[in-house]
Amino acid sequence: MSSRIELLNAGLLRSDGRRPYELRTLSINFASQGTADGSVTFSHGLTEVRVAVLGPREAKAGSRRETLHDRATLNVEVQLAPFGVGERRRRGRGDKRLLELAATIKSTFEPVVQVHLYPRSTIDIFIHVLQLDGGLLPACINGSTLALATAGIPLFDFVCAIAGGVHGTQPLLDLTTVEENDIPSIVVGVMPRTGRVTLVQMETRLHMDRFEEVFRAACDAGKVLWSEMRDALRERTSDLVEALEAGPGAFAAKEVEEI
């Protein structure tokens, strides 16, 4: 079945004007969120997520049975804002799709967060999806990486994720919702400094030759994302250091400015 929307025209431009390997614009805002230890609002194109990290902290009384004596436990919760995701049905916390998404994010970060440093404690990652136009899992992972870093939680490496697919024989990167619904696709999460891959998710069939091509392109794109995410984190850290050196009043003003 052919798509009702032309995904790629004769000039190799996609429906939103991008080239096949071109990524959408990133927006990273480290505004404080309530009592969160680390937080970020991460936008990739029209997809926007807000991530808050709490912890490491002592497990609540009701969940102490699930804590581990030699390392921290990661908890991930994902919620969708009904006004921004184009779905009429409201998805609650027990929704199967959201639980699967949370489980994937948790398994992605378990080998990356240095959980051995925090025995008998929990680290909570709360993700609120504000807008959705493809690339939901990558946006959640990239936003979680930055929120964990701002919370001061040691990571072995960043995790940078991107979705890729194939239209005909042409690989595409950073898919929109229309593209995700029309072509076979994969999500790749890469640890750019070490070159290790911590996530590969594919829910549709893809020929092995095409898979390798898209996979390599996604790994390269992960390094591009890493550069932008690292620069944003360095800029925030530099601003906070300058505010601290200027005195408590300036630091408080900086915190208020971010809210």
Tens-place pLDDT, residues 145-191: 999 999 999 999 999 999 999 998 999 999 999 999 999 999 999 99
Which strand ranges, in their side-by-side order, compose the sheet holding 196-202? 170-173, 160-167, 185-191, 196-202
Q: Please tell me the distance from the alpha carbon of residue 218 to that of residue 234, in angstroms, as a whole number.
A: 24
251 belongs to a structural domain: yes
Q: Which tens digits make up the pLDDT trace of 207-254?
A: 888 999 999 999 999 999 999 999 999 999 998 888 888 876 554 555
85 belongs to a structural domain: yes
The answer to whether 71 touches 115, Cβ cutoff 8 Å, is: yes
- Which pLDDT score is estimated for 245? 83
**Taking Cα atoms as reference points, which of 112, 97, 104 lies closest to residue 201?**
104
First to last CA, the chain: 48
Report how many domains make up the chain. Answer: 1
Q: Which tens digits make up the pLDDT trace of 82-137?
A: 876 665 555 555 689 999 999 999 999 999 999 999 999 999 999 999 999 999 99
What domain range includes position 43? Answer: 26-258
- Which pLDDT score is estimated for 90? 57
Q: What CATH number is given to the structural domain containing 60? A: 3.30.230.70
- Which pLDDT score is estimated for 241? 86
**pTM recorded for the entire structure:** 0.89
Whether residue 154 has a cis bond before it, omega within 30° of 0: no
151 belongs to a structural domain: yes
- Give the containing element (helix H, strand E) for 16: none
Q: Which tens digits make up the pLDDT trace of 55-74?
A: 999 876 555 566 788 899 99
7 belongs to a structural domain: no
- Which pLDDT score is estimated for 67? 76
19 belongs to a structural domain: no
13 belongs to a structural domain: no
Q: Please tell me the distance from the alpha carbon of residue 212 to that of residue 176, in angstroms, as a whole number.
A: 21
Q: How confident is the model at residue 3 (pLDDT cuts 50, 70, 90)?
A: very low
10 belongs to a structural domain: no
Q: Please tell me the distance from the alpha carbon of residue 127 to that of residue 137, in angstroms, as a whole number.
A: 11
82 vs 21, which has greater pLDDT? 21
12 belongs to a structural domain: no
